[in-house]
Amino acid sequence: DAKTTQPTSMDCAEGRAANLPCNHSTISGNEYVYWYRQIHSQGPQYIIHGLKNNETNEMASLIITEDRKSSTLILPHATLRDTAVYYCIVRGAAGNKLTFGGGTRVLVKP
Amino acid sequence: NAGVTQTPKFQVLKTGQSMTLQCAQDMNHEYMSWYRQDPGMGLRLIHYSVGAGITDQGEVPNGYNVSRSTTEDFPLRLLSAAPSQTSVYFCASRPAGDRVKNEQFFGPGTRLTVL
């Protein structure tokens, strides 16, 4: 599975959009991009995934560049409850495991 | 549904002791897995199972055993606890047919300290 690179931490103002970048320059054609988040002391929670096209659900939007070497998770209106560590994961559809890196620690401030 | 449950929530062991961390899910998920998370780090896969009677190793399996006799339960056994196994342990499950979306449901974790 391709390796991902994320900033260690970032702050965001409550009510504003939070844009979380992820680099995955070695991604191969059949690998998906997944985002999970982990709120303090809890188990990780699935957010969204995508292959090529941009994706949106009730939690977030995922923007994948045309060359697929990077992506951005967008939390449209960040709330204090969005404070968490966000993990960007690249994985082939046939794989069974998720490889969690260090993630980005997001602090939403009032 | 209770989702994924783990017991105990906290455990302190002495070096050399053995114990079993329990994990159960009531969603009829075929796939289950165990991860450990050391302080300030991401999760690392210990063992996983794609169905009853089938288990396989993850990236850090040494010192741990698993078995899967039922769909619902996936216990993790520490054979002889070592201080290096001090960690938070998470169990997760997902439906077998969900391989692309791969939405894994995680339990609340077991915080283990080995003295």
Query: Which residues face A7 on adjacent strands?
Result: none
Contact residues on chain B for A100, CB-CB shorter than 8 A: 35, 42-44
Handedness of CA B81, B74, B40, A5 (dihedral sign): positive
Residues contacting residue B27 through CB under 8 Å, at least 6 positions apart: B1, B3, B4, B93, B95, B105
Contact residues on chain B for A44, CB-CB shorter than 8 A: 43, 90, 92, 104, 106
User: A43 and B48 in contact by Cβ < 8 A?
Assistant: no
> Could you say which residues of chain B have pLDDT below 50?
none
The yes-or-no verdict on residue A2 having pLDDT over 70 is no
Model pLDDT, residue A96:
67
The yes-or-no verdict on residue A44 having pLDDT over 70 is yes
CB neighbour burial string for A15-31, b if at least 16 within 10 angstroms, e if fewer: eeebebebbbeebeeeb
User: A43 and B33 in contact by Cβ < 8 A?
Assistant: no
CA B24 to chain centroid, in Å, comes to 10
Q: Hey, is B108 helix, strand or coil?
A: coil
Query: Which residues face B34 on adjacent strands?
Result: B47, B91
Nearest to A43 among B48, B99, B106 (CB): B106
Residues, chain A, total?
A: 110
pLDDT, tens digit, 9 for 90 and up, residues A9-23: 999 999 999 999 999
Structure tokens at A13: 């103002």
Of the pLDDT bands very low, low, confident and very high (cuts 50, 70, 90), residue A1 is low
User: A96 and B59 in contact by Cβ < 8 A?
Assistant: no
Q: Hey, is B95 helix, strand or coil?
A: coil
pLDDT, tens digit, 9 for 90 and up, residues A51-108: 998 999 999 999 999 999 999 999 999 999 999 999 999 987 666 678 888 899 999 9
Q: Hey, is A82 helix, strand or coil?
A: helix
Question: By the 8 A CB rule, do A31 and A2 touch?
Answer: yes
User: B45 and A99 in contact by Cβ < 8 A?
Assistant: yes
pLDDT, tens digit, 9 for 90 and up, residues B22-39: 999 999 999 999 999 998
**Nearest in space to A67 (alpha carbons), one of A9, A15, A13, A25:** A25
Q: Are strands A18-23 and A70-75 parallel, antiparallel or unpaired?
A: antiparallel
Residues, chain B, total?
A: 115
The mean per-residue pLDDT over the stretch A25-34 comes to 90
Give the count of Cβ contacts less than 8 A between chain A and B. 58
Task: Measure the CA–CA gap between A56 and B78, rounded to whole angstroms.
Answer: 41
Nearest to A42 among B44, B59, B108 (CB): B108
Residue type, B95: P
Which residue in B43, B59, B91, B100 has the most chain A C-beta atoms within 10 A of its own C-beta, making it the best mutation to test that interface? B43
Chain B nearest C-alpha distance from A101 (Å): 5
Query: Which residues face B57 on adjacent strands?
Result: B47
Residues contacting residue A77 through CB under 8 Å, at least 6 positions apart: A15, A16, A17
Q: Which residues of A lie inside 8 Å of B (Cβ-Cβ)?
A: 32, 34, 41-46, 49, 87, 91, 93-94, 96-103
Structure tokens at A87: 């993990």
